[in-house]
Structure 1
């Protein structure tokens, strides 16, 4: 593949959110940071990246978009469970034997498991691997069933011997501490260690977890420290922390939740017809009888009350796609050479669609945040990444007008300066906002709108592909 003339695809957006809580810190509060001259509310990169990745995957699962027929990855702690399911259903293994063997095989690669009943078959870290890795692991385990059974037995024996040696050493040390003349050091012998897994089996198991042609691994990368040769991948997408262009605006929303049974009783009303007779029947000298003291329903107030923080603001977000690295990841994953270019372009189109349309789904039912479309999206090529966060170091003040319009004006002015000084292609812009659309019209009439206005995410990269090899 020839070197791309403009290997970086820079993506910038301004999106206005009203009363949302897309991401929280450990205390349940909106994430914040001090930037420039004001405190801002922020959206962490992992929140955005997961929204983008799941949007692309969901579209593909629906048979839509350029990646509909492509392979995907799965990030989970449940690979032992997935492998055991395949061993049980496809290869007719006993279910418990399948679980134990899958766990032992993955543990032999260096993956550690939880110590409780609920986590005994869950790896301590999530492993990002091709979605069919469980089936592939099961096939390897089934093919080498006898070799693995022998190795597992030896490993268990070595572990038991090691535990016994530790116990003896502990007892010997205790005797020596009491001054017992009969205490003797443990006999020196072979160091008890777990025998290594047969190399051929190990290589095939590692290959089953290799990134292969999973497109989301090629785009976002993975880091697997537990397996030295497990195939770490540098992600082709960089993502900044999104932040509000105006000072942080956090509202403590007081809420009250209704109890349905209580509301039903309130609607029926109280029966006062025999109230006097009931009061006269009460014996003030009667002692309490716990067995007859039944709890009474309370019709007062709401069922539950509390406070929930929400944020509003216009957020600047930035991501950049390293086109050259994406192609290299696809090649290293085993994608056929004659398919790499089409695959990479399809991934680029899908990523742009996700960058425009994907919104983190936290509290989506009480905020409807995923329905928000961006005010402005700017996409352009470059020989290096271009992050425009610095143009919002001075916070926009709402007193001077809508922050989103001020932000759009400032972002376009900043891009015009960078375009002129760095000799960049101006790229493309997209808006779903009437006020920003009018801003585009004004700038276009005055000859100051450098980027080409487009109307769909698919068009965002269309003028940018001229520098790519055919």
Structure 2
């Protein structure tokens, strides 16, 4: 089954996901400038919520370049000398085929590993301590050394970087350029969120005053500007539960809990950009969940022509539901199992084939039970 999640979410003054100049990200869509939140930002926001919705720390992964330092710390806790532990851990990463800048203590690129990777790599170092010590001594340029990974080492690398119980790696996939055997095909696709209407970037001019300034002095002690916009976004994500089950083999319970965590996390995901300054902590207003046997429909073209209604949420909701109805009328519904919708404001028109529910709990229950049927 494939679960599709369509959300309409309005944010007040905010800069949730900024570009390299500090401005809120934008995109030209339908010939008009729209607000945008990148899929990467939304995925990270969702990942940070997985443990709040039923997943254990051991069931989620970690993105890091800092395996070396963490393994060294682990070896030291197990009684090894720190300097020698660093030599051995460096040799282990190199022997397993990972490029490493040993001087900085970083792998050459950001690795996506399970929460158990540090423990597995620590065990590998302890087991092959003498061999790794000899390997390190034989290298004249340890920082740049790379070796051809034999079958035995490939098996060790697969065990250390095993992701068969890492829910977020199963959802979002993983690419390891140095060892393609460790790649994971993503079970979930996430779109960039785009505003349903035209946006204009605005600027907040701010000043700050020194609290200890003498009373006879006036003027600001710091001035600046912060870019922001206000926008109603269309958000879309899907998850293929068949691919998810393939990525998490033999654990039906974990697959079900991961699917539930995915749904709730994406409904509640809000990027953290400038939140301390703007507190744009709003929730989605309109939710549409579609469970289908195959295929996938991003409904962004409902907003190819910008919404201009005074009530942007109501106008956007009508556009979304009307576009879904037109697609089902044109392409048919043979691939669609169920469609469920809910709205905080209650501004949800009736549509054939769409079940209307009145709360997020009812919505989640209907979507998840349909996907398991």
Q: Same fold (TM over 0.5)?
A: yes
Q: Deviations over 1:383-429 (max 9, x none)?
A: 211100111000112xx312111001111111222234421345112
Please name the residue that 1:80 is paired with.
68
- Is the Cα contact below 8 Å between 1:428 and 1:454 reproduced in 2? no
Q: Deviations over 1:270-294 (max 9, x none)?
A: 4xxxxxxxxxxxxxxxxxxxxxxxx
Q: Deviations over 1:333-388 (max 9, x none)?
A: xxxx3x32x2222111111111111100111111112x211111110112211100
Q: Structure 2 vs 1, CA of residues 199 and 132 (structure 1 numbering), >3 Å: closer, same or farther?
A: same
Greater helix fraction, Structure 1 or Structure 2: 1
- Is the Cα contact below 8 Å between 2:173 and 2:187 reproduced in 1? yes
Please name the residue that 1:32 is paired with.
26
Structure 2 spans left out of the alignment, 5+ residues: none
Please name the residue that 1:139 is paired with.
123
Q: CA RMSD in A?
A: 2.3
- Is the Cα contact below 8 Å between 1:151 and 1:197 reproduced in 2? no
Q: Post-superposition shift, 1:461? A: 4.7
**Secondary structure of the equivalent of 1:155?**
coil
Q: Post-superposition shift, 1:201? A: 4.8
Structure 1 spans left out of the alignment, 5+ residues: 1-6, 60-64, 164-192, 271-298, 332-336
- Is the Cα contact below 8 Å between 1:99 and 1:121 reproduced in 2? no
The whole-number CA distance in structure 1 between the counterparts of 2:147 and 2:65 is: 25
- Is the Cα contact below 8 Å between 1:426 and 1:452 reproduced in 2? no
The whole-number CA distance in structure 1 between the counterparts of 2:146 and 2:288 is: 56
Q: Deviations over 1:154-203 (max 9, x none)?
A: 233xx49xx9xxxxxxxxxxxxxxxxxxxxxxxxxxxxx97656753553
Q: Structure 2 vs 1, CA of residues 463 and 222 (structure 1 numbering), >3 Å: closer, same or farther?
A: closer
- Is the Cα contact below 8 Å between 2:94 and 2:146 reproduced in 1? no
2:370 aligned with 1:460, yes or no? no
The whole-number CA distance in structure 2 between the counterparts of 1:460 and 1:232 is: 31
Greater strand fraction, Structure 1 or Structure 2: 2
Q: Post-superposition shift, 1:128? A: 0.6
The whole-number CA distance in structure 2 between the counterparts of 1:314 and 1:126 is: 33
**Secondary structure of the equivalent of 1:260?**
coil
Q: Post-superposition shift, 1:122? A: 1.2
Q: Post-superposition shift, 1:95? A: 0.9
Of residues 419, 422, 433, the one that matches 2:328 is: 419
Q: Normalised by the size of structure 1, how large is the TM-score?
A: 0.73
- Is the Cα contact below 8 Å between 1:42 and 1:244 reproduced in 2? yes
Q: Deviations over 1:105-126 (max 9, x none)?
A: 21233322337x5xx2111211
**Secondary structure of the equivalent of 1:352?**
helix
Of residues 193, 205, 218, the one that matches 1:300 is: 218
Please name the residue that 1:71 is paired with.
59
- Once superposed, which parts of structure 1, at least 4 consecutive aligned residues long, lie more than 4 Å away? 193-199
Please name the residue that 1:240 is paired with.
191
User: Which protein is bigger by CA-based radius of gyration?
Assistant: 1
Q: Structure 2 vs 1, CA of residues 243 and 366 (structure 1 numbering), >3 Å: closer, same or farther?
A: same
